[in-house]
């Protein structure tokens, strides 16, 4: 299972939110590149980089952060937030991303998402499937849809999606454990590379999502709050 550390960006700084609430933001590092280097130095290979301002404003806002990290580390970066066109995708790949995560467009414009999937291929495009009470959310978690999470993922799997990141918004930033039961339910229904996100607060949580079959686990606030150290994650890698 891949160990993936998250860096969320607002104003060019590493921040974390609680349940996607922008008013709850807390700055953990003024320099994302410095933290990215710490991730790399501990033997971790994967970074989940989220432009939170981009997600909220529906346009890429923190491209320079991606460029700096991609140029000055060897981390394999998936980037999300504010992607609204194929040109945006190309811009992000040219800046150094290995994969992109798109969620809102998959809800609001499924035909466009499938077009991106066709052009980029299933190794490059990750389906963002963020949910609250089993309903998919969009727009940086500010808007809710009527789409049920498992049927949403299943439908896109049938159309060629290989990877999906599933975040239970109620768990995100709470450090109370991930939605392991939901992930098991998804994987019992859909054969997909599922990346767990939200709520992970211990090594045991990581073992739990691995046990149910998740292909990856994203760890964010637990690292910043020192519930899990980068060294511990590096040892898992």
Q: So what's the pLDDT on residue 139?
A: 63
Chain mean pLDDT for the chain: 94
pTM score, two decimals? 0.94
Q: Cα(237)–Cα(234) distance, rounded to whole angstroms?
A: 5
Contact yes or no for 161/192 (Cβ under 8 A):
yes
Contact yes or no for 135/167 (Cβ under 8 A):
no
Q: So what's the pLDDT on residue 144?
A: 78
Residue range 131-160, pLDDT digits in tens: 999 999 876 556 678 999 999 999 999 999
Indicate which residues carry an active-site annotation.
Answer: 8, 130
Q: So what's the pLDDT on residue 141?
A: 57
Q: What is the mean pLDDT of residues 94-119?
A: 95
Q: So what's the pLDDT on residue 16?
A: 86
Q: Percent of the chain beyond pLDDT 70?
A: 98
Domains of the chain: 2-236 (3.20.20.70)
Residue range 177-186, pLDDT digits in tens: 999 999 999 9
pLDDT at residue 213 is higher than 80: yes
Q: H/E/C letters for each residue in 135-175? A: EEEECCCCEEEEEEHHHHHHHHHHCCCCEEEEEECCCCCCC
Q: What is the mean pLDDT of residues 191-219?
A: 97
Q: So what's the pLDDT on residue 169?
A: 87
Distance of CA 194 to the CA centre of its chain: 11
CA angle 201, 192, 220 (to 5 degrees): 20
What are the beta bridge partners of residue 219?
A: 5
Q: What is the mean pLDDT of residues 159-188?
A: 93
């Amino acid at each position: 299972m891949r160990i993936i550390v998250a860096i969320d960006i607002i104003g060019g700084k590493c921040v974390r939110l609680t349940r996607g609430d922008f008013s709850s933001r807390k700055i953990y590092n003024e320099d994302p590149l410095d933290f990215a280097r710490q991730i790399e130095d501990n033997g971790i290979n994967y970074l989940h980089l989220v432009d939170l301002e981009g997600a909220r404003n529906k346009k890429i806002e923190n491209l320079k952060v991606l460029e700096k990290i991609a140029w000055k580390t060897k981390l394999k970066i998936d980037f999300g937030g504010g992607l609204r066109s194929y040109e945006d995708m190309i811009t992000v790949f040219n800046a150094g991303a290995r994969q992109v995560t798109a969620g809102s467009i998959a809800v609001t414009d499924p035909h466009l998402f499938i077009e991106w999937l066709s052009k980029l291929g299933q190794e490059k495009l990750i389906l963002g499937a963020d949910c609250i009470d089993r309903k998919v959310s969009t727009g940086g978690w500010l808007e809710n849809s009527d789409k049920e999470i498992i049927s949403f993922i299943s439908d896109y799997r049938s159309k060629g999606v290989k990877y999906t990141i599933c975040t239970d918004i109620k768990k995100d930033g709470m450090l109370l454990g991930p939605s392991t039961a939901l992930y098991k339910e998804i994987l019992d229904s859909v054969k997909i590379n599922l990346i767990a996100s939200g709520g992970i607060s211990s090594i045991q949580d990581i073992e739990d999502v691995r046990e149910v079959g998740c292909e990856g686990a994203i760890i964010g606030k637990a690292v910043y709050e020192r519930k899990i150290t980068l060294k511990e994650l590096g040892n898992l890698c």
